[in-house]
């Protein structure tokens, strides 16, 4: 599904990967913007599930072979979607999103979305840094596959610290 998520991000004018809210074949199947396309939190939900899977099973091989690439691409989307706001004291803001509470659609700095994005960014940065320190070959694979800037980990970590919950 990662190729379709990359294509969806590009279609929506973003970098990285944007996983669908509803899908049949990996492509977004929801026709309504506010409850489909604006639900960016799906990316973080999937990365949260990835983290829990690795924690529960110890499947570090999956994290190295597939998960690290997914983490880099979802972090890339958050960094493309969000911005540092002078009006919010330099915090990293994510606007025009719909959180899991679908009664409040297309809002700025949805608490759930921001908190989950922060965790996605932190886990991506931690995973990339951990691979760099412990397994250079495994580190080089997602760097090569995603063309990630090796200094991007620091940026993701900084963003993770500055994402406001509301």
- What amino acid positions are annotated as catalytic residues? 102
CA distances from 29 to 8, 36, 41, 78 (A): 11, 8, 16, 22
d(CA 31, CA 52): 30
User: Cα separation of 80 and 130, whole Å?
Assistant: 23
């Amino acid at each position: 599904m990662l190729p379709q998520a990359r294509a969806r991000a590009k279609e929506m004018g973003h970098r990285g990967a944007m996983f669908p809210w509803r899908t049949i074949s990996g492509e977004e199947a929801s026709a309504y913007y506010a409850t489909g396309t604006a639900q960016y939190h799906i990316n973080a939900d999937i990365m949260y599930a990835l983290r829990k899977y690795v924690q529960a099973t110890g499947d570090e091989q999956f994290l190295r072979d597939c998960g690290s690439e997914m983490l880099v691409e979802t972090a890339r989307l958050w960094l493309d979607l969000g911005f540092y706001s002078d009006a919010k004291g330099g915090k990293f803001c994510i606007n025009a999103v719909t959180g899991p509470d679908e009664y409040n659609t297309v809002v700025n700095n949805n608490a759930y979305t921001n908190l989950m994005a922060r965790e996605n960014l932190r886990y991506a940065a931690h995973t990339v840094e951990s691979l760099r320190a412990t397994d250079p070959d495994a580190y080089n694979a997602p760097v090569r596959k995603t063309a990630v800037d090796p200094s991007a980990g620091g940026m993701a970590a900084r963003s993770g610290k500055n994402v406001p919950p509301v």
